[in-house]
Chain A
Amino acid sequence: AQRVTQPEKLLSVFKGAPVELKCNYSYSGSPELFWYVQYSRQRLQLLLRHISRESIKGFTADLNKGETSFHLKKPFAQEEDSAMYYCALSRSETSGSRLTFGEGTQLTVNP
Protein backbone atom coordinates (compact mmCIF):
# COMPACT_ATOMS: atom_id res chain seq x y z
CA ALA A 1 0.00 0.00 0.00
CA GLN A 2 1.15 3.51 -0.70
CA ARG A 3 1.50 6.22 1.88
CA VAL A 4 2.40 9.93 1.81
CA THR A 5 3.76 11.71 4.85
CA GLN A 6 4.03 15.45 5.36
CA PRO A 7 5.75 15.83 8.72
CA GLU A 8 4.87 19.48 9.26
CA LYS A 9 1.25 20.49 9.73
CA LEU A 10 2.22 24.15 10.07
CA LEU A 11 5.11 26.10 8.58
CA SER A 12 5.71 29.80 9.04
CA VAL A 13 8.37 31.87 7.25
CA PHE A 14 9.04 35.52 6.54
CA LYS A 15 8.66 37.08 3.12
CA GLY A 16 11.82 36.65 1.09
CA ALA A 17 13.04 33.65 3.08
CA PRO A 18 13.52 30.24 1.49
CA VAL A 19 10.83 27.69 2.11
CA GLU A 20 10.83 23.91 1.93
CA LEU A 21 7.76 21.76 2.44
CA LYS A 22 8.69 18.17 3.12
CA CYS A 23 7.05 15.13 1.60
CA ASN A 24 8.05 11.50 1.99
CA TYR A 25 6.34 8.55 0.43
CA SER A 26 6.31 4.81 0.68
CA TYR A 27 5.50 2.78 -2.39
CA SER A 28 7.18 -0.27 -3.85
CA GLY A 29 6.55 0.57 -7.48
CA SER A 30 7.30 3.60 -9.62
CA PRO A 31 5.17 6.49 -8.41
CA GLU A 32 3.98 9.69 -9.95
CA LEU A 33 4.25 12.55 -7.46
CA PHE A 34 2.29 15.79 -7.33
CA TRP A 35 1.91 18.91 -5.25
CA TYR A 36 -1.58 20.36 -4.88
CA VAL A 37 -2.34 23.75 -3.34
CA GLN A 38 -5.45 25.23 -1.81
CA TYR A 39 -5.54 28.99 -1.37
CA SER A 40 -8.02 30.54 1.06
CA ARG A 41 -11.62 30.10 -0.15
CA GLN A 42 -10.48 28.44 -3.37
CA ARG A 43 -10.65 24.87 -4.56
CA LEU A 44 -7.82 22.38 -4.58
CA GLN A 45 -5.62 22.79 -7.66
CA LEU A 46 -2.53 21.19 -9.09
CA LEU A 47 0.67 23.12 -8.49
CA LEU A 48 3.20 20.86 -10.15
CA ARG A 49 4.03 17.24 -10.97
CA HIS A 50 7.40 15.59 -11.05
CA ILE A 51 7.12 14.17 -14.57
CA SER A 52 6.83 17.65 -16.02
CA ARG A 53 10.01 18.87 -14.31
CA GLU A 54 8.63 22.37 -14.33
CA SER A 55 8.79 25.38 -12.04
CA ILE A 56 5.45 26.93 -11.18
CA LYS A 57 5.20 30.25 -9.32
CA GLY A 58 8.86 29.84 -8.43
CA PHE A 59 8.29 26.45 -6.79
CA THR A 60 10.28 23.35 -7.74
CA ALA A 61 10.23 19.79 -6.48
CA ASP A 62 12.68 16.99 -7.19
CA LEU A 63 11.82 13.34 -6.85
CA ASN A 64 14.50 11.56 -4.85
CA LYS A 65 13.83 7.85 -5.18
CA GLY A 66 16.70 6.94 -2.87
CA GLU A 67 15.25 8.97 -0.03
CA THR A 68 11.65 8.47 -1.22
CA SER A 69 11.09 12.20 -0.97
CA PHE A 70 9.49 14.92 -3.08
CA HIS A 71 10.12 18.12 -1.18
CA LEU A 72 8.69 21.41 -2.46
CA LYS A 73 11.05 24.37 -2.48
CA LYS A 74 11.02 28.06 -3.23
CA PRO A 75 14.06 30.29 -2.76
CA PHE A 76 12.14 33.47 -1.87
CA ALA A 77 8.70 33.11 -0.33
CA GLN A 78 5.95 35.63 -1.08
CA GLU A 79 2.91 36.51 1.00
CA GLU A 80 0.64 35.16 -1.75
CA ASP A 81 2.22 31.73 -1.25
CA SER A 82 0.31 31.39 2.01
CA ALA A 83 -1.93 28.37 1.49
CA MET A 84 -2.48 24.72 2.29
CA TYR A 85 -0.15 22.40 0.39
CA TYR A 86 -0.76 18.71 -0.20
CA CYS A 87 1.68 16.18 -1.56
CA ALA A 88 0.03 13.36 -3.52
CA LEU A 89 1.05 10.09 -5.15
CA SER A 90 -0.39 8.16 -8.06
CA ARG A 91 0.51 4.63 -9.05
CA SER A 92 1.87 4.92 -12.57
CA GLU A 93 1.57 1.28 -13.51
CA THR A 94 -2.16 1.07 -12.93
CA SER A 95 -4.79 2.29 -15.33
CA GLY A 96 -6.31 4.56 -12.72
CA SER A 97 -5.32 8.03 -11.66
CA ARG A 98 -6.40 7.74 -8.04
CA LEU A 99 -4.40 9.98 -5.75
CA THR A 100 -3.10 9.25 -2.28
CA PHE A 101 -2.69 12.50 -0.37
CA GLY A 102 -0.63 13.49 2.62
CA GLU A 103 -2.24 15.35 5.49
CA GLY A 104 -1.10 18.71 4.23
CA THR A 105 1.10 21.58 5.40
CA GLN A 106 -0.35 25.01 6.13
CA LEU A 107 2.22 27.55 4.94
CA THR A 108 2.07 31.08 6.29
CA VAL A 109 4.35 33.74 4.83
CA ASN A 110 4.62 36.71 7.15
CA PRO A 111 5.34 40.25 5.89
Chain B
Amino acid sequence: ETGVTQSPTHLIKTRGQQVTLRCSSQSGHNTVSWYQQALGQGPQFIFQYYREEENGRGNFPPRFSGLQFPNYSSELNVNALELDDSALYLCASSLDLGQPLYEQYFGPGTRLTVT
Protein backbone atom coordinates (compact mmCIF):
# COMPACT_ATOMS: atom_id res chain seq x y z
CA GLU B 1 0.00 0.00 0.00
CA THR B 2 1.44 3.37 -1.06
CA GLY B 3 1.29 6.26 1.37
CA VAL B 4 0.40 9.88 0.67
CA THR B 5 2.94 11.58 -1.55
CA GLN B 6 3.38 15.28 -2.30
CA SER B 7 5.35 17.18 -4.90
CA PRO B 8 7.47 19.14 -5.07
CA THR B 9 9.33 18.83 -1.77
CA HIS B 10 10.46 22.43 -1.76
CA LEU B 11 9.99 25.42 -3.96
CA ILE B 12 10.74 29.10 -3.96
CA LYS B 13 8.44 31.64 -5.59
CA THR B 14 8.32 35.39 -5.91
CA ARG B 15 5.53 37.52 -4.51
CA GLY B 16 2.70 37.84 -7.03
CA GLN B 17 3.42 34.54 -8.77
CA GLN B 18 1.18 31.51 -8.87
CA VAL B 19 1.97 28.01 -7.57
CA THR B 20 0.51 24.52 -7.90
CA LEU B 21 1.15 21.83 -5.32
CA ARG B 22 0.29 18.19 -5.90
CA CYS B 23 -0.85 15.34 -3.73
CA SER B 24 -1.41 11.66 -4.41
CA SER B 25 -3.72 10.13 -1.85
CA GLN B 26 -3.23 6.77 -0.26
CA SER B 27 -4.59 3.86 -2.28
CA GLY B 28 -8.37 3.57 -1.93
CA HIS B 29 -8.85 6.93 -0.21
CA ASN B 30 -11.43 9.27 -1.73
CA THR B 31 -11.13 12.22 0.64
CA VAL B 32 -8.28 14.72 0.58
CA SER B 33 -7.71 17.64 2.93
CA TRP B 34 -5.14 20.41 2.64
CA TYR B 35 -3.53 22.20 5.56
CA GLN B 36 -1.16 25.14 5.85
CA GLN B 37 1.43 25.01 8.62
CA ALA B 38 3.29 28.21 9.28
CA LEU B 39 6.55 28.04 11.20
CA GLY B 40 5.93 27.33 14.88
CA GLN B 41 2.20 26.83 14.38
CA GLY B 42 -0.12 23.88 14.13
CA PRO B 43 -1.61 22.90 10.77
CA GLN B 44 -4.52 25.06 9.66
CA PHE B 45 -7.33 23.62 7.52
CA ILE B 46 -7.57 25.08 4.01
CA PHE B 47 -10.20 22.90 2.32
CA GLN B 48 -11.29 19.35 1.71
CA TYR B 49 -12.29 17.40 -1.39
CA TYR B 50 -14.54 14.39 -1.51
CA ARG B 51 -15.08 12.55 -4.80
CA GLU B 52 -13.95 15.58 -6.83
CA GLU B 53 -16.18 18.08 -5.02
CA GLU B 54 -15.08 20.68 -2.49
CA ASN B 55 -16.54 19.79 0.88
CA GLY B 56 -15.71 22.44 3.41
CA ARG B 57 -13.32 25.35 3.44
CA GLY B 58 -11.35 27.07 6.17
CA ASN B 59 -10.67 30.76 6.58
CA PHE B 60 -8.58 31.22 3.45
CA PRO B 61 -9.14 33.71 0.61
CA PRO B 62 -10.41 32.65 -2.83
CA ARG B 63 -6.91 32.84 -4.30
CA PHE B 64 -6.44 29.46 -2.62
CA SER B 65 -8.19 26.93 -4.84
CA GLY B 66 -8.04 23.25 -5.45
CA LEU B 67 -8.99 20.30 -7.56
CA GLN B 68 -9.50 16.62 -7.07
CA PHE B 69 -9.16 14.26 -10.00
CA PRO B 70 -11.02 10.99 -10.77
CA ASN B 71 -8.10 9.01 -9.35
CA TYR B 72 -8.54 11.10 -6.15
CA SER B 73 -5.21 12.86 -6.45
CA SER B 74 -5.42 16.56 -5.75
CA GLU B 75 -3.92 19.94 -6.47
CA LEU B 76 -3.69 23.09 -4.40
CA ASN B 77 -3.33 26.32 -6.37
CA VAL B 78 -2.38 29.63 -4.88
CA ASN B 79 -2.57 32.81 -6.96
CA ALA B 80 -1.00 36.20 -6.30
CA LEU B 81 1.42 34.81 -3.75
CA GLU B 82 2.11 36.87 -0.65
CA LEU B 83 5.03 36.66 1.75
CA ASP B 84 2.71 35.24 4.44
CA ASP B 85 1.97 32.26 2.21
CA SER B 86 5.41 30.92 3.07
CA ALA B 87 4.65 27.71 4.96
CA LEU B 88 4.60 23.93 4.89
CA TYR B 89 1.58 22.68 2.96
CA LEU B 90 0.27 19.33 4.09
CA CYS B 91 -2.05 17.00 2.28
CA ALA B 92 -4.00 14.32 4.16
CA SER B 93 -6.16 11.56 2.76
CA SER B 94 -8.74 9.38 4.44
CA LEU B 95 -10.79 6.38 3.48
CA ASP B 96 -14.11 8.17 3.45
CA LEU B 97 -15.77 11.37 4.38
CA GLY B 98 -16.81 12.28 7.86
CA GLN B 99 -15.94 9.08 9.61
CA PRO B 100 -13.91 9.87 12.71
CA LEU B 101 -12.79 6.28 12.88
CA TYR B 102 -11.22 6.72 9.47
CA GLU B 103 -7.78 8.08 10.16
CA GLN B 104 -6.32 10.94 8.14
CA TYR B 105 -2.94 10.01 6.68
CA PHE B 106 -0.58 12.89 6.11
CA GLY B 107 1.96 13.42 3.40
CA PRO B 108 5.46 14.77 4.03
CA GLY B 109 4.48 18.26 2.94
CA THR B 110 5.69 20.84 0.45
CA ARG B 111 7.78 23.68 1.82
CA LEU B 112 6.87 26.90 -0.01
CA THR B 113 9.02 29.99 0.37
CA VAL B 114 7.78 33.28 -1.06
CA THR B 115 10.37 36.01 -1.50
Q: Which residue of A lies closest to B42 (CB)?
A: A101
Within 8 Å CB of A6, what residues of B?
Answer: 42
The answer to the question of B28 belonging to the interface, with a C-beta cut-off of 8 Å to chain A, is no
Cα–Cα distance between A96 and B49 once the two chains are bound (Å): 10
Within 8 Å CB of B43, what residues of A?
Answer: 44, 86, 99, 101
The answer to the question of B16 belonging to the interface, with a C-beta cut-off of 8 Å to chain A, is no
**What range describes how many residues of B lie at the interface?**
20 to 34
Q: Are A43 and B107 in contact (CB under 8 A)?
A: yes
Q: Are A51 and B100 in contact (CB under 8 A)?
A: yes
Q: Which residue of A lies closest to B56 (CB)?
A: A96
- Looking at A9, A43, A88, A100, the one whose CB has the most chain B CB atoms below 10 A away is A43
Within 8 Å CB of A52, what residues of B?
Answer: 101
**What range describes how many residues of A lie at the interface?**
20 to 34
A-B contact count (CB 8 A): 66
The answer to the question of B67 belonging to the interface, with a C-beta cut-off of 8 Å to chain A, is no
Q: Which residue of A lies closest to B100 (CB)?
A: A32
Q: Are A104 and B42 in contact (CB under 8 A)?
A: yes
Q: Are A103 and B104 in contact (CB under 8 A)?
A: no
The answer to the question of A110 belonging to the interface, with a C-beta cut-off of 8 Å to chain B, is no
Cα–Cα distance between A88 and B44 once the two chains are bound (Å): 10
The answer to the question of A95 belonging to the interface, with a C-beta cut-off of 8 Å to chain B, is yes
Indicate whether A44 sits within 8 Å of B106 (C-beta atoms), given known contacts A86-B42, A103-B42: yes
Q: Are B58 and A49 in contact (CB under 8 A)?
A: no
Q: Could you mark each residue 98-109 of chain A with 1 if its beta carbon is under 8 Å from any beta carbon of chain B, else 0?
A: 111111100000
Q: Which residue of B lies closest to A32 (CB)?
A: B100
Q: Could you mark each residue 59-91 of chain A with 1 if its beta carbon is under 8 Å from any beta carbon of chain B, else 0?
A: 000000000000000000000000000101010
User: What residues make up the interface of A, taking CB atoms closer than 8 Å to B?
Assistant: 4, 6, 9, 32, 43-46, 49, 51-52, 86, 88, 90, 92, 94-104
